[in-house]
Amino acid sequence: MQSGSRIRNQKDFAAGVIYIVAGAAFAIGALNYRIGEAARMGPGWFPLAVGILLVLVGIATAVSGLTRGAAVERIRGVHLSTLFWILGSVVLFGLLLQPLGLVGALLVLILVSSKASHEFTWLGALLNAAFLIAFSLGVFIWGIDMLIPLWPAFVR
């Protein structure tokens, strides 16, 4: 009976806990802003809603790692190089957005973060970058009309 009380899928359980912590942090942080109501949303409404949804997804994911039918998966260890590639790409995006514009900063973000994958190929990363840049332009520039420079400062 002891095996039924153990975590069968450590990866799902750990991911669920991370989602719960991140969602709770967003939801708690949103309480510092006016929430408003659904008809008249304040600046804290969206992060509160996303935080709550993330907590719910986290609970579902963590519970799925505890069920009897869950695939048995263990966490082998934390790969610091993967963490470095992902966090480094986000920092680079923030630093390069103004001088390179959205297109250049996204290209750097996607190519650098792609190096975190053990399945990395330049062709896959470039195809992914082309799709994600086109999608981002469609959503942020043409869809919601954000005022972000598209191109490097020397091209504008």
Q: Which three-class secondary structure state does DSSP give residue 154?
A: coil
Q: How many helices (H) and strands (E) does the chain have?
A: 4, 2
pLDDT at 1: 39
* pLDDT for res 5: 53
The percentage of residues in the chain with a pLDDT greater than 70, rounded to a whole number, is: 96
Q: Is the pLDDT of residue 150 over 90?
A: no
> Does residue 33 surpass a pLDDT of 90?
yes
Q: What is the pTM of this model?
A: 0.61
Nearest to 50 by CA among 25, 82, 33, 67: 25
- Whole-number Cα distances in Å, 49 to 14, 35, 36, 61, 94: 22, 10, 12, 18, 25
Q: Where are the domains of the chain?
A: 2-64, 80-143
Give me the chain's average pLDDT, please: 88
Range in 16-20, 112-116, 122-126, 137-141 the model is least confident about: 137-141
